[in-house]
Amino acid sequence: MHISLPDTGYLRLPQIIGRKSTANDPGLPALVPVSASTLWQWVRDGKFPAPVKLGPRTTAWSVESVRAYIQRVAE
């Protein structure tokens, strides 16, 4: 499956690891199919890009850094 990303902007955690669909929510496909705890461990280990704080309760990753990660692991 090919997932199109915008050229710039930010992605929140569910947009990266995906979200299962429910009766009221179509869900989101995973760009990086791992659990949230695995992704955060990868951030701590330097395997995945560090997020940025957009506000006191808002953490996100730049599209460019996620795209670079995906391209790097696809090689």
In a domain, 2, yes or no: no
In a domain, 39, yes or no: yes
pLDDT in tens, 3-62: 788 899 999 999 999 999 999 988 889 999 999 999 999 999 999 999 999 999 999 999
Predicted local confidence at residue 1, as pLDDT: 52
Domain count, the chain: 1
Alpha carbon distances (Å) from 21 to 5, 13, 26:
20, 16, 5
| DSSP states along 46-58 | TSSPPPEEEETTE
pLDDT at residue 64 above 60? Answer: yes
In a domain, 4, yes or no: no
Bridge-based pairing of strands 10-11 and 58-62 is antiparallel
Predicted local confidence at residue 75, as pLDDT: 86
Token look-up 């955060």 returns: 40
In a domain, 15, yes or no: yes
Buried b (16+ CB within 10 A) or exposed e, 18-52: beeeeeeeeebebbeeeeeeebeeeeeeeebbebe
> Residue 37 sits in which domain range?
10-74
**What's the predicted TM-score (pTM) here?**
0.88
